[in-house]
Chain A
Amino acid sequence: MSAPALTRPAPAASPGRGPARRRRRRGGLAGAALGLLTWLVVLLFFFPVAWMALTGFKQEPDAATSPPRFAFSPTPAQYQSAIGKAGPYLTHSVLIAVLSTLIVLALALPGAYALSVAPVRKWRDVLFFFISTKMLPVAGAIIPLYVIARNLHLLDTLIVLIILYASMNLPIAVWMIRSFLLEVPIGILEAVKVDGASFGRQLRSVVLPLIAPGMAATALICFIFSWNEFFLAVNLTTSNAATVPVYLVSFQTGEGQFWAHLCAGATLACLPVLLAGWAAQDKLVRGLTMGAVK
């Protein structure tokens, strides 16, 4: 369970092992066929993403054709105009995702510390409380959230999504950071004293550098979930704080006729998260399973 993804040396790679070598030779043809199959299946899965990015480079007349056009002269025009139109939405999304992620990290690091390095007595109950909040559907809370936001004049503000996304990602971050902290040898952390103001400083100067890669992965995963969130964004914002998914809603009907523009906008919407996800892919599974699978 602790084997880092894709780094376990395959037994067949060890030199001079008779059976392994024989097996490899025997499986030559079948192995090649399976390799080909792997590529085919994976490319099939990836295809819609590639098609989206590709269609964004088309002129409108090339985008919706029968039969579909695979050869065309690419133009960045759709992307340029999509950046212009999506501008404010992208800004809102970046602000909300980054600020909520910072809040999450600031709350989760000390929280995870108190659940692993110097654990509180009921650390197990607290951990399961955190995870249980993740399991309750947003649909069960959306109505009071809407009414409260409305009464506090927070509808369509950045603040409401920053707070809600922070609460959405905090349990994941606590579990993830805790799993990283548990990998640090206990002796190194023993010097840290849980003691008021100096504790905060020690957390930053001693603990943080030790788990920096883990913190970065956690941040990327929080960013991904905030960026892609749809339900809360659509119901709680309209324009002043509308995020990228809300921008995409406008394509759902009328503008959906302009496929090249639609695909350019959709690709822009996906790009930050694709990059973040590719960067964090070794730690992705840990985030998705709240640290249960490494």
Chain B
Amino acid sequence: MAVLAGRGTDAVAWERARSRRRSRRRRLPLLPALVFTIVVTQIPFLLTIWYSLQSYNLYHPYTRHFAGLANYTLIFTDSIFRTALANTVVLTLVPVLASLLLGLGIALLLDRKVLGRGLLRTLVISPFLVMPAAAALVWKFTLLDTQFGLLNFVLGPLGAHHTDWINDHSKLTIITVLTWQWTPFMVLILLAGLQSQPGDVLEAARVDGAGPWQIFRSMTLPHLRQYLELGIVLGSIYVVQAFDAIFMITGGGPGQQTTNIPYYLYEAAFRGFDIGRASAMGVVVVAITIVIATFALRTISGLFSDQGMEGRL
């Protein structure tokens, strides 16, 4: 009896040790990637929080001291910061929604049988691939220039001869460029969504006499819902960080009309060398993004299936 019990615990212990060895073995290949990511991405964020609690200017390194929440008081009483916050919301929401709608339209057009569909898709993704800094220059000069820009030439007959788009419609300019750039992103996601619709079900609905609009509303749209959500959250995460176009085209101006938080932070840090204040802004950007990211993670985990993971644990 005792002998048997002894052997039992031995077996259990052996089994446990084996499973421990196994999980250590399994962890090993993951460690380099995990450690690298933690070191390079997490430490800077912790330091940002730490810096944000200090009065710290690179021009006057010896006056550095702990300042508590002074930087936060400073930025939230700063009217330019509040403007930048409002601009960030506008310059994120409008381009994301506009590109989503345009992207949906184009995806629906491309989901049909159309001559040269492969070529069309190749062409339509190009604005997303083009280097944003390069695209910004092309828009700023060759398309939107007051005197020689192509847009004023095209709109000339409509009476818009000498519109100074960049200065008089600066927000619209940035929104247009961002929308142009992000529409292909939405097209790709939504096209993948449309093409994952079961074709035979759609066909059956057609045979049963459902019109195109009916099919779109009651079948396609519900099916696309998770793809639309994914487009919105991923698009927002990237567009909220928009910097290239603002830096190249408007420089945040005129005045502060196109200054979003990333651009304002850049000015505080790299023109004013005010590490403490800029860090506090960084923390605020992160806080905003966390709100979006929470939705994002929920959306992605909806799409994220455990398929193919059975029997591997």
Contacts and interface: CB of A to CB of B under 8 A. Distances in A.
Given A49-B130, A139-B262, A128 B297 contact: yes
Given A5-B191, A269-B134, A31 B112 contact: yes
Contacts of A216: none
Interface string B31-66: 011101100111111011001000000100000000
B81 interface: no
Given A41-B109, A55-B142, A284-B125, A136 B41 contact: yes
Contact of B129 (A3, A19, A68, A270): A270
Interface in A1-60: 1-3, 5-6, 8-13, 19-20, 23, 31, 34-35, 37-39, 41-43, 45-46, 48-49, 51-52, 55
B34 A126 contact: yes
B202 interface: yes
B243 interface: yes
What is the interface of chain B mostly: helix, strand, loop, or mixed? helix
Contacts of A107: 32-33, 36
A157 interface: no
Nearest to B39: A167
Contacts of B138: 48, 51-52, 263, 266
Interface stretch (B4-12, B213-221, B301-309): B301-309
B130 A34 contact: no
A37 B108 CA distance: 12
B255 interface: no
Given A288-B188, A293-B303, A270 B139 contact: no
A138 B121 CA distance: 31
A42 B120 contact: yes
A180 B187 CA distance: 23
Range, interface on chain A = 35 or more
A194 B283 contact: no
A110 B279 CA distance: 35
Report the interface size class on chain B: 35 or more
B101 interface: no
A10 B110 CA distance: 12
B265 A144 contact: no
Contacts of A19: 203, 206-207
Interface in B291-313: 292-293, 296-297, 300-301, 303-305, 307-309, 311-313
Nearest to A12: B113
Contact of B240 (A137, A252, A263): A137
B286 A48 contact: no
A9 to B, nearest CB: 8
22 contacts: A1-B192, A46-B127, A48-B135, A48-B180, A49-B130, A52-B135, A64-B141, A64-B142, A107-B32, A116-B308, A120-B27, A126-B34, A135-B297, A137-B286, A139-B241, A142-B265, A166-B36, A186-B308, A256-B137, A277-B128, A292-B300, A293-B189
Interface of A: 1-3, 5-6, 8-13, 19-20, 23, 31, 34-35, 37-39, 41-43, 45-46, 48-49, 51-52, 55, 63-68, 107-108, 110-111, 113-121, 126-148, 163-164, 166-167, 170-171, 174, 182-183, 186, 194-195, 199, 203, 224, 227-228, 230-231, 234-235, 244-245, 248-249, 251-252, 256, 259, 262-263, 265-267, 269-270, 273-274, 276-278, 281, 284-285, 288-290, 292-294
